[in-house]
Amino acid sequence: MFKIYGIKNCGSMKKAFDALTTNGLAYEFHDYKKQGIDADTLKTWLDALGADTVLNKKGTTWRKLTETEQQHALATEQNLIETLITHTSLIKRPILATTTGYIAGFDEATYQTLSSV
């Protein structure tokens, strides 16, 4: 079973849910907008995927932060983790936990290669 992290009302999330369902893949959904996200999980993602992948700088949430807040978030990994916990919309969506690692963002071709093994 896969575990998918994100925010329910997001276009990329809906595409990911549809792709998983179409391919007959069971998944558990963690809505970090409602359920929050812990520092250990974020650290794991940052180690596996890198800050440039996990942090969504293209969204309005990032643009709404002041330059000082942005610089503070990028100064250290701990600052980034704290910022992501406070502003979960800054986390790239979706993040899919697979048996071989993590996939950030939705790419239909990548999802087509997934299997329940």
Q: 104-113 burial, b for 16+ CB within 10 Å, e for fewer?
A: bebeeeebee
Structure tokens at 68: 């000082």
Name the residue among 79, 88, 73, 86 with its Cα closest to residue 13: 88
Catalytic residue among 2, 7, 10, 33: 10
Identify whether 91 is a catalytic site residue. Answer: no
| Alpha carbon distance, N-terminus to C-terminus of the chain | 9
Q: How far apart are CA 28 and CA 47, in angstroms?
A: 22
Structure tokens at 60: 């309005």
What are the residue numbers of the active site? 10
